Structure 1
Amino acid sequence: MSLKISVIGTGYLGATHAAAMAELGFEVLGLDVVAEKIDKLRRGEVPMYEPGLEELLRKHVAGIPGSTGRLRFTMDFAEAADFGDVHFVCVNTPQRHGEYAADMSYVDAAIASLAPHLTRPTLVVGKSTVPVGSADRLAAYLAAHAPAGADVELAWNPEFLREGFAVDDTLHPDRIVTGVRSERAERLLREVYAAPIADGTPFVVTDFPTAELVKTAANSFLATKISFINAMAEVCEAAGGDVAKLAEAIGYDDRIGRKFLRAGIGFGGGCLPKDIRAFMARAGELGADQALTFLREIDSINMRQRGQMVELARQAVGGGSFLGRRVAVLGAAFKPDSDDVRDSPALNVAGQIHLQGGQVTVYDPKGMDNARRIFPTLGYADSALEAVRGADVVLHLTEWREFRELDPQELGSVAAARVILDGRNALDPQLWRKAGWTYRAMGRPTA
């Protein structure tokens, strides 16, 4: 008998995981407690922008003409418990308000709502990013509160999705990590991931604490790499060096690698900032806080980049006040190929300049609606050209391909001044300077 899969939580992670499991051939039931989200998903609409996800949903959601019908949605925990042989918990763990620690209330609520309905042997699999030690606690809770008792097992299987590449990362992951306590749990997860394993994806079996630590360790390493090159940009600024050439040169060393070595306004989004802070908080609870004190500086370097971009913009408009100055901001999402504006450096910079009196107009290919909800007082344009019209300075803050392909001459014809600050070191300086623009980027020579 083929396994049936339930997915608890249908946000970014859950919706992607549910659609991918259906693509791998499983019957899938997605569950959420937000009626509007479920209604959208039943129509084959995604609650966020993610390339390829809506097409995958529509291929499998029951009731859509021509679909396989393998994917359905519900708000009923009893139905999900009865349906699934394997239950994936994919709910959010945001930063706790006013603290560094992770908010575990959504995970705890999902487990508490599911447990009373688990009347037969089953496997519950956590995919959420949680503080180390959570799996032990949740496994004990399930054993105590599920009618099937010890026959309800827990496993931990962290996600490594990159926004903009989530569908491919789920169907063709670079590794699968599973924290398990029994051969049965390992066997079930090998069955779930049989297709990617057959394609050569490494399958790493470990204990609960290691599985929980893998995600936060990976994100901490990536954050460290980004903040390292941004620290080098500061030194290059002071010494007259070129951080782009520096990154290219050290990136050829395969022990270092070239990825995540582009200096700019730093990282944001719903994962890296809150994950490194939660990691520091949990290390403190475990008495290992000194091991992660370096992450505080990583976080500090990252946040400092935003302020430095604001100062560059201030210099560009004369070095005094932003009052009466028009500032065009290209980008609102924290990264390209996403509409996610959570802790977005681009939107943070735009907001800071606006609060200091600048007339800010923002354009982003996908993030406009989400940006408006967070910063309704900013100006918004329907195109890059309209955003730049009359601007005293242009800030390139999200490296969308659309922005890399802009015509500097066309933009120059509508700007009040041809000054561009490349907050992502992603534009071609020669191309823009040739068109008469003053081009500036962090850690790069001014000419």
Structure 2
Amino acid sequence: MRLTVIGCGYLGAVHAAAMASIGHEVVGIDVDPRKIEALSRGEAPFFEPDLEELLAAGVESGRLTFTTDMAAAAGSAVHFVAVGTPQQQGGYAADLTYVNGAVDSLLPYLRPGDIVAGKSTVPVGTAAELAPRIEATGAILVWNPEFLREGWAVKDTIEPDRLVVGVGASTGSATGSGSATGSGSATGSGAPTDSGQATDPAQVLREVYHPAVAAGTPFIVTDWATAELVKVAANAFLATKISFINAMAEIAEVTGADVTQLADAIGHDARIGRRFLGAGIGFGGGCLPKDIRAFSARAEELGRGESVAFLREVDAINLRRRDRAVDLVLQAFDGSVFEKRVAVLGAAFKPFSDDIRDSPALDVAVRLRGLGADVIVTDPAAIENARRLHPQLTYIEDRDDAIRDADAVILVTEWDEYRRELDPEHASSLTTGRIVVDGRNGLDAAAWRAAGWTYYGMGRP
């Protein structure tokens, strides 16, 4: 099938490469010529495991091409809209400028029966607002949210844990969820194609994702609003779970309890589960923070702000944990880090990524420098991005060189080379001080203490 992916940022580039890898002919379109030039050479403009290999294979095969010309979308059966929806300047709501711009630019190239599949994370109600423009061309709008984890995005695209397709009332009412083998399809006939035959958009999306469908991935067909809500509700739930355990860490810190043991104990309950119960300095990145804020803003617009009012506290708890990490470093130095050399392990908001958007790690580093510390930041992938945003910090790529002569070390991004591979005895041979602040509770506290370090954890005695 011939597919278009509009927007070749993190989501779009991964989606385009993954779709080409399963046999489709894909054209990626973006307004940034430098990004398009890199992608056309098979080079990923950001770090994501396995992506560059997928890009190179797709470009070499001829199935994957990139351009700045929207006219290249003509003739595709499905057009995926994968542009960003950043937080508005001066507010919490999502900025839909790029979504509207992408749709408006695409309209002249749509044919009756074409499918426009929204993948961007948008406020509920967005599809209904876009639909009149799209349907006036005879094309069909569906919403097909993404559920990618940075660091695992290629796998999550090719082998998703579920597929969701929201269809409009004019396309047919959804029959509910079903397996990928047939149930859950839309009951309506869809728009007529040039040949006069009706298009079933759910069936077309099943064909797009044929390997996952054949593997039995749950395929859920629903309405536009539900599909839009699935994405933001999932992110809101994950953010809430993280902030819940961090709230428990705040209680643990004043009672002497150990939040890691608490998380293990409650995580054995199948209704709760252990994942996303890692207390630490909290979440960041380009999704969870802005998505829960946009969800809150949209609920206010709908007159139901009280329904998600708890998300304001989820956000507040998350930001407080960054304060706590800084406070622990100050506590270790009796209240002042002036001219103390602090090695910050991590810059990306999470491992296996070079994404520094709303990174708790960088936030902590900047705050420590503002308090007078000599801050050295290291990261396996994110140094160049971090340097562009915060040139005032000192960056050293090599981990051992970064911690050399440090008075304290703080773990803020749980890369394996810090969490698993940094031996406390080896670290002792390099540093001046023996203070370690574990902002992710990823280190073996007993081992570090046995090696002579003063260990500070998040919600741990």
- TM-score category of the 2 structures, normalised to the smaller one: over 0.9
Q: 1:101 aligns with which of 90, 93, 106?
A: 93
Q: CA deviation at 1:120?
A: 4.0
Kindly indicate whether residue 7 of structure 2 is the aligned counterpart of residue 15 of structure 1. Answer: no
Q: CA deviation at 1:187?
A: 1.4
Amino acid at match of 2:127: A
Amino acid at match of 2:91: E
Kindly indicate whether residue 145 of structure 2 is the aligned counterpart of residue 158 of structure 1. Answer: yes
Q: Which residue of 1 aligns with 2:32?
A: 34
Note the 1:77-116 alignment, pairs <5 A. 77-80=70-73, 82-116=74-108
Q: Which residue of 2 aligns with 1:71?
A: 64
Contact 1:392 1:418 in 2 (8 A): yes
Q: CA deviation at 1:121?
A: 2.8
Q: Which residue of 2 aligns with 1:231?
A: 247
Q: CA deviation at 1:407?
A: 1.9
Q: 1:176 aligns with which of 144, 158, 163?
A: 163
Q: Which residue of 2 aligns with 1:364?
A: 379
Kindly indicate whether residue 321 of structure 2 is the aligned counterpart of residue 329 of structure 1. Answer: no
Q: Which residue of 1 aligns with 2:324?
A: 308
Q: Which residue of 1 aligns with 2:115?
A: 123
Contact 2:135 2:141 in 1 (8 A): no
Contact 1:392 1:419 in 2 (8 A): yes
Contact 1:336 1:400 in 2 (8 A): yes
Matches of 1:262 and 1:22, distance apart in 2? 36
Amino acid at match of 2:114: T
Deviations 1:278-312 (A, max 9, x none): 00000000001000100000000000000111111
What TM-score, normalized to structure 1? 0.95
SS at 2:440 equivalent: coil
Matches of 1:262 and 1:283, distance apart in 2? 28
Give the % identical residues.
Answer: 59
Amino acid at match of 2:279: A
Note the 1:248-263 alignment, pairs <5 A. 248-263=264-279
Contact 1:86 1:124 in 2 (8 A): yes
Amino acid at match of 2:90: G
Q: 1:133 aligns with which of 120, 125, 129?
A: 125
Matches of 1:379 and 1:412, distance apart in 2? 22
Matches of 2:18 and 2:229, distance apart in 1? 24
Matches of 2:65 and 2:114, distance apart in 1? 20
SS at 1:376 equivalent: coil
Matches of 1:141 and 1:57, distance apart in 2? 33
Q: Which residue of 2 aligns with 1:280?
A: 296
Q: CA deviation at 1:118?
A: 1.7
Kindly indicate whether residue 362 of structure 2 is the aligned counterpart of residue 347 of structure 1. Answer: yes
Q: Which residue of 2 aligns with 1:439?
A: 455
Q: Which residue of 1 aligns with 2:405?
A: 390
In structure 2, runs of 5+ residues without a counterpart are 172-185, 187-199
Note the 1:405-444 alignment, pairs <5 A. 405-444=421-460
Deviations 1:125-156 (A, max 9, x none): 00000000000011112234xxxx2x211000
Matches of 1:23 and 1:201, distance apart in 2? 18
Kindly indicate whether residue 43 of structure 2 is the aligned counterpart of residue 59 of structure 1. Answer: no
Contact 2:18 2:54 in 1 (8 A): yes
Q: Which residue of 2 aligns with 1:375?
A: 390
Contact 2:29 2:67 in 1 (8 A): yes
Q: CA deviation at 1:200?
A: 1.2
Amino acid at match of 2:453: W
What TM-score, normalized to structure 2? 0.92
Amino acid at match of 2:405: G
Matches of 2:246 and 2:99, distance apart in 1? 35
Contact 1:317 1:392 in 2 (8 A): no
Q: 1:246 aligns with which of 239, 245, 262?
A: 262
Moved more, 174-183 or 218-227: 174-183
Contact 1:392 1:417 in 2 (8 A): yes
Amino acid at match of 1:133: G
Contact 1:397 1:424 in 2 (8 A): yes
Contact 1:317 1:393 in 2 (8 A): no
Q: CA deviation at 1:322?
A: 2.2
Amino acid at match of 1:141: R
Q: CA deviation at 1:435?
A: 1.3
Amino acid at match of 1:26: H
Matches of 2:394 and 2:66, distance apart in 1? 38
Q: CA RMSD, aligned part only?
A: 0.9
Matches of 2:310 and 2:102, distance apart in 1? 34
Contact 2:280 2:439 in 1 (8 A): yes
In structure 1, runs of 5+ residues without a counterpart are 62-66
Q: CA deviation at 1:418?
A: 0.6
Contact 2:346 2:411 in 1 (8 A): yes
Contact 1:328 1:394 in 2 (8 A): yes
Q: Which residue of 2 aligns with 1:221?
A: 237
Matches of 2:297 and 2:418, distance apart in 1? 38
Moved more, 300-309 or 349-358: 349-358
Deviations 1:365-395 (A, max 9, x none): 1010011011100011121211112211110
Matches of 2:30 and 2:62, distance apart in 1? 19
Q: 1:48 aligns with which of 33, 43, 46?
A: 46
SS at 2:402 equivalent: helix
Matches of 2:341 and 2:333, distance apart in 1? 9
Q: CA deviation at 1:60?
A: 1.0
Amino acid at match of 1:219: N
SS at 2:46 equivalent: coil
SS at 1:303 equivalent: helix
Contact 1:6 1:83 in 2 (8 A): no
Matches of 2:291 and 2:121, distance apart in 1? 8
Matches of 1:174 and 1:281, distance apart in 2? 29
